[in-house]
């Protein structure tokens, strides 16, 4: 089971031919838009979605009437027909939704790309809108238990009777095993969170803008689910982000410099559960992220050393750190050392990481804000701009069916 | 299930999905009678955890239920320092037990304080009458 992953031997020759990939270099993100990110929007999710989408369409130099496709997560609670009615899209021709929570973030772009590359639509908008902070918090166990009584998700039914109810605890189970196998000390894990907080100090849109953090602050913050402290966790956010996807041909006329898609990939390895894949041979790793990484590198022809900036979906710091290992930026068990002191992941380091502050310090818009930041980096308009950034790798939620993108200038 | 059961307040019940995922039934029936039953493919002997109708190794639909020894080790654990739910006051630990047979099960430990739990610790199963209408399997430090 998971032989390729266990032996790190990706069988590239078994995958579809790269020269038949219709998305590679033929599709681009030409518009990004968002709302303010806050802890209490005092607005509804429909309203937030409308604003972000309008901003993205304006950014692309288009009109709402140009949009003929919409792409969302199944998690999104705004009804698409209602959204269309409010936006004024005259006749939507393409729509689909991607499952698996934040693991679907990059997949929305992949599906939109597939639609425009095959002529099903001209301009597809991917969006995410949520009142996660003020509305319905995923981190609350009582809410999950209520959800269980109706949910068709098999594995949770075995776990909830033990009070194993929240994403943080599910991640903590991976983290504890990872720490045990690689001898990682609890107090050494803070650099990742610290550097992301530094990035947020340059980003006025970040929830933690104006709220710097010292290493001691990290250590002094309460342990929520051991081994994860408060600032190992993402920041519950109200807000929305939208992205406009079209073909490279149409992108040439766009108002903004396009961010071309070099590769897009999804992965659901066998024995995957939604954040609780504990019956795989290795509990201390993220096979889905490894598979997505291998496929992105195979399609793009790039390797880890060719990535100028990475935007890794980090619901928890450890989830981001283990992704560094699975994506080949360092060896397994070396992620904490890679982040030690922070220099490697700062803006002038070897791998500038989550440069707007990531999900820990910018906002938790289910990773759509990471895709927007990757586009800004390639445009040269980021608040912590990586000099000469030409390639960006973006991932989606780790520890569940996931997805990823490599974008280029 | 009693009519006063409230999943936002009471311990969540093991889920049984008679329409979607019927394979969970024999497992919980076993627990109710004080047995920890593991599903194994009758064709290729692969353990199927969680239980399922088809073996992912050989696609056989024939399987058998085998009683576990109930012995295993703590493969990992997580400890809530803030209660996630009214029924589970903090500190509350959840453990991942690797049974001697190989499959891993999420459970909780009795007879040990959260700060004394360690990866690799030997444990054995116990059955706890959790409420009028259901029994849970838990683990305790091995004798």
Q: What is the mean pLDDT of residues B60-87?
A: 96
Q: Report CB contact under 8 Å: B82, A156.
A: no
A159 is catalytic: no
Q: Report CB contact under 8 Å: A225, B81.
A: yes
Q: Report CB contact under 8 Å: B76, A177.
A: yes
Q: Rounded CA gap, A144 and A161, in Å? A: 12
In chain B, residues with a C-beta closer than 8 Å to the C-beta of A145 are 7-8, 12, 85
Q: Report CB contact under 8 Å: B119, A140.
A: no
Q: Rounded CA gap, A19 and A37, in Å? A: 40
Q: What is the mean pLDDT of residues A120-146?
A: 82
Q: In this predicted structure, which of A111-115, A166-170, B139-143 has the lowest mean pLDDT?
A: A166-170
Q: Which residue has the higher pLDDT, A24 or B21?
A: A24
Question: 């107090």: which residue's tokens?
Answer: A187
What is the widest separation between alpha-carbon atoms in chain A?
58
- Give the number of other CB atoms < 10 A from CB of residue A301: 12
Q: Report CB contact under 8 Å: A162, B94.
A: yes
Residue B141 domain-assigned (yes or no): yes
In chain B, residues with a C-beta closer than 8 Å to the C-beta of A283 are 75-76, 96, 104
Q: What is the mean pLDDT of residues A228-254?
A: 96
Q: What is the 3-state secondary structure (H, E, C) of A126-157?
A: EEEEEECCCCCCCCCHHHHHHHHCCCCCCCHH
Residue B5 domain-assigned (yes or no): no
Interface subset of B 94-123, CB within 8 angstroms of A = 94, 96, 103-108, 114, 119-120
Residue B76: Cβ-neighbour burial (10 angstroms; 0-12, 13-18, 19+): buried
Q: Is the pLDDT of residue A153 over 80?
A: no
Q: In this predicted structure, which of A82-96, A133-147, A213-227, A248-262 has the lowest mean pLDDT?
A: A133-147
Q: Is the pLDDT of residue B18 over 80?
A: no
Using CA coordinates, name the residue in chain B closest to A272. B50
Residue B98 domain-assigned (yes or no): yes
| Domain count across chain B | 2
Q: What is the mean pLDDT of residues A143-168?
A: 75
Cβ of B131 under 8 Å from any chain A Cβ?
A: no
Q: Rounded CA gap, A361 and A206, in Å? A: 6
φ, ψ dihedrals at A163, nearest 5°: 70, 20
Tokens of B62: 């024939």
**Interface test mutation site (partner B, options A144, A164, A233, max chain B beta carbons within 10 A):** A164
In chain A, residues with a C-beta closer than 8 Å to the C-beta of B108 are 162-163
In chain A, residues with a C-beta closer than 8 Å to the C-beta of B24 are 154, 157-158
Reported as a pLDDT band with limits 50, 70 and 90, residue B12 is confident
Q: Is the pLDDT of residue B1 over 50?
A: no
The residue among A174, A194, A193 whose CA lies nearest residue A184 is: A174
A364 is catalytic: yes
Residue B137 domain-assigned (yes or no): yes
Q: What is the mean pLDDT of residues A8-12?
A: 95
Reported as a pLDDT band with limits 50, 70 and 90, residue B9 is confident
Using CA coordinates, name the residue in chain A closest to B119. A180
Q: Report CB contact under 8 Å: A169, B84.
A: yes
Q: Rounded CA gap, B35 and B125, in Å? A: 9
Residue B123 domain-assigned (yes or no): yes
Q: Are residues B105 and B119 in the same domain?
A: yes
At B2 the pLDDT is 47
Reported as a pLDDT band with limits 50, 70 and 90, residue A145 is low
Q: Supply the CATH number for residue B85's domain.
A: 2.40.50.840
Q: Are residues B91 and B53 in the same domain?
A: no
The residue among A274, A281, A308 whose CA lies nearest residue A406 is: A308
Q: Are residues B90 and B140 in the same domain?
A: yes
Q: Rounded CA gap, A396 and A364, in Å? A: 12
pLDDT digits (tens, 9 = 90+) for A383-401: 999 999 999 999 999 999 9
Residue B3 domain-assigned (yes or no): no
Q: Are residues B142 and B78 in the same domain?
A: yes
Whether complex ipTM tops 0.85: yes
Q: Are residues B80 and B133 in the same domain?
A: yes
| Catalytic choice (A123, A138, A209, A364) | A364
Residue among B12, B20, B49 minimizing CB distance to A145: B12
Alpha-carbon radius of gyration of chain A: 20
Residue B33 domain-assigned (yes or no): yes
Q: What is the 3-state secondary structure (H, E, C) of A350-385?
A: CCCECCCCHHHHHCCCCCHHHHHHHHHHHHCCCCCC
Q: Are residues B44 and B75 in the same domain?
A: no
Domain that holds residue B112: 69-143
pLDDT digits (tens, 9 = 90+) for A266-279: 999 999 998 899 99
At A81 the pLDDT is 95
Q: Residue B50, preceding bond cis, omega within 30 degrees?
A: yes
Q: Rounded CA gap, A103 and A106, in Å? A: 8
pLDDT digits (tens, 9 = 90+) for A70-110: 999 998 989 999 999 999 999 999 999 999 989 999 999 99
Q: Report CB contact under 8 Å: A173, B86.
A: no
Identify the domain boundary among B67, B90, B107.
Answer: B67
Q: Report CB contact under 8 Å: B119, A177.
A: yes
pLDDT digits (tens, 9 = 90+) for A275-309: 899 999 999 999 999 999 999 999 999 999 999 99
Tokens of A31: 């518009």
Interface subset of B 6-25, CB within 8 angstroms of A = 7-9, 11-17, 20-21, 24
pLDDT digits (tens, 9 = 90+) for A25-78: 999 999 999 999 999 999 999 999 999 999 999 999 999 999 999 999 998 989
Q: Which residue has the higher pLDDT, B133 or B34?
A: B34
Q: Rounded CA gap, A53 and A305, in Å? A: 34
Q: Are residues B129 and B73 in the same domain?
A: yes
Q: Report CB contact under 8 Å: A163, B136.
A: no
The residue among A66, A62, A53, A117 whose CA lies nearest residue A264 is: A117
Q: Are residues B79 and B63 in the same domain?
A: no
Residue B105 domain-assigned (yes or no): yes
Q: Rounded CA gap, A337 and A266, in Å? A: 28
Separation of CA B75 from chain center: 14
CA distance A91 to chain B (A): 36
CA distance A219 to chain B (A): 15
Reported as a pLDDT band with limits 50, 70 and 90, residue A149 is low
Q: Are residues B54 and B112 in the same domain?
A: no
User: How many residue pairs bridge chain A and chain B with CB atoms within 8 Å of each other?
Assistant: 135
Q: Are residues B63 and B104 in the same domain?
A: no
Q: Is the pLDDT of residue B42 over 70?
A: yes
Using CA coordinates, name the residue in chain A closest to B118. A180
At A143 the pLDDT is 64
The residues with which A342 forms a beta bridge, in sequence order, are: none
Q: What letters, b where the CB count within 10 A reaches 16 and e where it falls short, cover A264-277?
A: bbbbebebbbbbbb
The residue among B21, B66, B13, B128 whose CA lies nearest residue A152 is: B21
- Give the number of other CB atoms < 10 A from CB of residue A127: 28
Cβ of B5 under 8 Å from any chain A Cβ?
A: no
Q: Rounded CA gap, A252 and A248, in Å? A: 6
Q: Are residues B75 and B60 in the same domain?
A: no
Using CA coordinates, name the residue in chain B closest to A226. B79
By three-state DSSP, how is residue B4 classified? coil
Q: Is the pLDDT of residue A141 over 70?
A: no
Q: Are residues B61 and B77 in the same domain?
A: no
In chain A, residues with a C-beta closer than 8 Å to the C-beta of B105 are 158
Q: Rounded CA gap, A3 and B30, in Å? A: 33
């Amino acid at each position: 089971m998971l032989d390729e992953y266990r032996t790190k031997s990706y069988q590239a020759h078994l995958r579809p031919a790269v020269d038949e990939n219709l998305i590679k270099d033929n599709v681009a993100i030409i518009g990004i838009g968002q709302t303010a990110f806050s802890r209490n929007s005092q607005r509804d999710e429909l309203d937030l979605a409308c604003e972000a989408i309008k901003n993205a369409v304006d950014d692309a130099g288009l009109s709402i009437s140009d949009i003929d496709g919409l792409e969302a997560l199944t998690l999104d609670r705004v009804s698409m027909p209602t959204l269309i009615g409010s936006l004024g899209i005259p006749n939507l021709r393409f729509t689909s939704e991607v499952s698996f929570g934040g693991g679907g973030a990059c997949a929305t772009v992949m599906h939109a790309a597939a639609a425009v590359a095959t002529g099903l639509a001209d301009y597809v908008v991917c969006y995410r809108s949520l009142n996660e902070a003020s509305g319905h918090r995923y981190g609350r166990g009582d809410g999950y238990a209520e959800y269980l009584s109706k949910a068709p998700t098999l594995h949770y039914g075995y776990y909830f009777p033990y009070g194993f109810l929240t994403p943080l605890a599910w991640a903590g189970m991976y983290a504890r095993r990872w720490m045990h196998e690689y001898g990682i000390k609890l107090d050494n894990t803070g650099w990742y969170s610290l550097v992301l907080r530094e990035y947020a100090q340059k980003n006025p849109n970040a929830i933690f803008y104006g709220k710097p953090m010292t290493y001691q602050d990290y250590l002094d913050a309460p342990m929520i689910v051991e081994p994860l402290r408060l600032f190992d966790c993402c920041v519950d956010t109200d807000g929305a982000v939208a992205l406009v996807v079209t073909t490279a041909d149409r992108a040439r006329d766009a108002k903004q410099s396009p961010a071309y898609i070099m590769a897009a990939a999804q992965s659901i390895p066998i024995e995957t559960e939604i954040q609780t894949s504990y019956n795989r041979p290795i509990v201390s790793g993220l096979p889905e992220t490894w598979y997505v990484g291998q496929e992105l590198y195979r399609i793009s022809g790039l390797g880890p050393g060719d990535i100028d900036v990475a935007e890794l979906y980090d619901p928890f710091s450890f989830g981001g750190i283990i992704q560094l290992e699975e994506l080949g930026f360092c060896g397994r068990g070396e992620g904490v050392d890679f982040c030690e002191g922070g220099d490697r992941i700062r803006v002038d380091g070897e791998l500038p990481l989550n440069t707007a502050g990531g999900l820990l310090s910018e906002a938790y818009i289910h990773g759509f804000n990471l895709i927007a930041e990757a586009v800004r980096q390639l445009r040269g308009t980021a608040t912590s701009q990586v000099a000469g950034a030409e390639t960006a790798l973006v991932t989606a939620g780790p520890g569940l069916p996931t997805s990823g993108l490599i974008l280029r200038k | 299930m009693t009519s006063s059961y409230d999943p936002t307040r009471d311990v969540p019940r093991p889920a049984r999905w008679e329409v979607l995922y019927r394979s969970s039934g024999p497992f919980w029936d076993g627990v109710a009678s004080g047995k920890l039953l593991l599903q194994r493919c009758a064709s290729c002997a692969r353990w199927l955890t969680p239980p399922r109708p088809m073996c992912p190794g050989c696609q056989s639909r024939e399987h058998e239920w085998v009683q576990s020894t109930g012995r295993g080790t703590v493969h990992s654990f997580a400890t809530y320092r803030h209660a996630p739910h009214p029924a589970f006051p903090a500190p509350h630990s959840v453990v991942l037990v690797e049974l001697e047979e190989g499959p891993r099960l999420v459970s909780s430990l009795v007879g040990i304080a959260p700060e004394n739990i360690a990866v690799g610790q030997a444990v054995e199963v116990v059955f706890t009458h959790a409420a009028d209408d259901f029994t849970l399997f838990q683990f305790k430090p091995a004798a």
